[in-house]
Structure 1
Amino acid sequence: MSSNFTDIVILAGGFGERLWPASRPDFPKQFLSLQNGQSFLQSAVLRSLAVKPSGKILILTRRDILEEMTSQCEKMKTFVSEADWKKICSDLIIVAEPCARHTAAPLLLASKYLNNSDPDKVHNILVLASDHIITPVERFTEDCKKAAEASEKGNFVCFAIKPTEPSTGYGYIKMGESMKEIQNLSEDVYKIEQFKEKPDLKTAESYLSSGKYCWNSGMFGFTADFFENEMALYEPAIASDFSVFNKTNLPEIKLLNGIKYVKEWPAMEKAYENVKSIAVDNAIAERTEKAVVVKSTFGWDDVGSWDAFEKLFDKNENTVQIEAKDNFVYSDIPVALCGVEGLSVVIKNGKALVMKKGTSGFMREVVKQVKENF
């Protein structure tokens, strides 16, 4: 078996809070356009294609955004190669979950779907987020080969990002011994000694200076069989809820905007009725004895705030600034700024956000109060 991922799973839920008002529940962050005109979601699909999986590209999403999801995938026809478009048409399938159940359940759903679709094949799965920025793609695909080889050998693989600042917004991974001698893997693959929750600033500074800690990117690699076995070991109740997939027919695949999707599947409805909502990090990553990490060489950002989003743009559009500096504007309409500095101004969907840069931590409270008062 060649060392590459056979299948890709893209997690694409989200409720559009951190980049309000441009993102919203029916149009979350992954649908926002970047400066090149492509959305986060489309960029994630392009990354998936670059890995060249021989099997499926599954997008796990919410039912109420299914139409926009298919529409964005269909629009990729205008800028991908003929071969990539053929791959999208044949092997990309959007799976619309009955309800949100964090990340462990949808990943088990994806594993069950792939194993049921082709039970004689080893499904080596790469899990991606739909709203990250990763560059350059060439380094990403090279790191994926290292990760695929590690997951092939029965590991739960994470991708570690070298920290560029003492961030308090990310979880951290403490790297242990190299896997080169243990399993003859790449020298960039290490055992995970410990997962660390989002730290305070002093702790984050100590992590950065030690050189032993990296950010946890939220991307993973594992085989479907491995994941099912680990779920049975660490989350037997979830495994029991999903045992309904062991004897079930495959779902009907339908088309919307020319893109394949699965929505009605009795086994999925049954499994999701009472299944526990838990992150895969808590369910498996932090508990398995087989967690390893690839020390990644690509640039990564989860773009979790307007401060981070600004970095993706080299100019402001629809903007006049007079005796104003260090301001970021993302707007559908012309905006004039006079005598101010250090502001982020977002005017989208008939709503406006004006905030001092560096105050993105208030966004959840902003969204809460807007919902309550307007």
Structure 2
Amino acid sequence: MRRIFMKRADVYLREMEKYLPKMYKRLMTIYQSLETDEGSNVTKEQYNEIDGISVDFGIMQKTRKAFVIKCDFVWDDIGTFAALSRFLSNLRGNNVLGNTFMEESENCSVFGKDRLIIGFGIKDLIIVDAGDVILVMDKNKDQEIKHLVNELKESKETEKYI
């Protein structure tokens, strides 16, 4: 079974090298540095330089080496906060992770870390504690986060947080 998986991974990597050569080069640089003392720094540096294209568009729509198999299963694109929220614990009608207290609040998704996040009298919000940044946004703006991140990258005052 491992041999079959590795063969599939080789095909995938060759297709990435063909269709997304810059991404492939950066991922190989990351891979080669993983067991070194500089692994963490190299990973962060290279990852920040990768273009924001999904493999769906960059590889799968171009390759002739992929197959589509009809099947019946539930699909969830976990590339959004809304999708990730479905994997969180339910606390009084809110989806929460981390140290969270929710009172008179509904339909919120809270991604906490070490600090206590208190939600009081709020509705339809996403709250993310990312350590040095706290994001608070309307759940309905979930698809627009990429635009916001790009704006933050362009600002000298906020680019260090992205």
TM-score by length of 2: 0.57
Structure 2 CA distance for partners of 1:360 and 1:299, relative to 1, 3 Å: same
Counterpart position of 1:9 = 9
CA distance in structure 1 between the partners assigned to 2:119 and 2:51 by the alignment:
43
CA distance in structure 2 between the partners assigned to 1:350 and 1:65 by the alignment:
27
Structure 2 CA distance for partners of 1:62 and 1:337, relative to 1, 3 Å: farther
Equivalent position to 2:29, from 44, 63, 66: 63
The number of equivalent residue pairs is 122
Matched, 1:325 2:106: yes
**How far apart are 1:363 and its partner, in Å?**
0.9
CA distance in structure 2 between the partners assigned to 1:305 and 1:350 by the alignment:
21
Counterpart position of 2:154 = 372
Counterpart position of 1:281 = 60
Counterpart position of 1:295 = 70
Helix, strand or coil for the counterpart of 1:340? coil
Matched, 1:314 2:89: yes
More helix by percentage: 2
CA distance in structure 1 between the partners assigned to 2:146 and 2:129 by the alignment:
17
- Correspondence 1:201-350 to 2 at 5 A: 218=56, 279-285=58-64, 292-315=67-90, 316=96, 317-332=98-113, 333-350=115-132
CA distance in structure 2 between the partners assigned to 1:353 and 1:306 by the alignment:
12
Q: Deviations over 1:128-176 (max 9, x none)?
A: x8xxxxxxxxxxxxxxxxxxxxxxxxxxxxxxxxxxxxxxxxxxxxxxx
The residue identity in structure 1 corresponding to 2:83 is A
CA distance in structure 1 between the partners assigned to 2:72 and 2:99 by the alignment:
36
Helix, strand or coil for the counterpart of 1:324? coil
CA distance in structure 2 between the partners assigned to 1:351 and 1:293 by the alignment:
40
The residue identity in structure 2 corresponding to 1:372 is E
CA distance in structure 2 between the partners assigned to 1:337 and 1:62 by the alignment:
43
Matched, 1:363 2:145: yes
Larger radius of gyration: 1
Helix, strand or coil for the counterpart of 1:350? coil
More strand by percentage: 1
Q: Deviations over 1:347-374 (max 9, x none)?
A: 1131111111131121111111222221
Contact 1:331/1:346 (CA < 8 Å) preserved in 2? yes
**How far apart are 1:309 and its partner, in Å?**
0.7
CA distance in structure 2 between the partners assigned to 1:322 and 1:294 by the alignment:
46
Structure 2 CA distance for partners of 1:341 and 1:62, relative to 1, 3 Å: farther
CA distance in structure 2 between the partners assigned to 1:367 and 1:354 by the alignment:
13
Q: Any gaps of 5 or more consecutive residues in structure 1? A: 13-59, 72-95, 104-128, 130-217, 219-277
Identity over aligned residues, as a percent? 19
Helix, strand or coil for the counterpart of 2:89? coil
TM-score by length of 1: 0.27
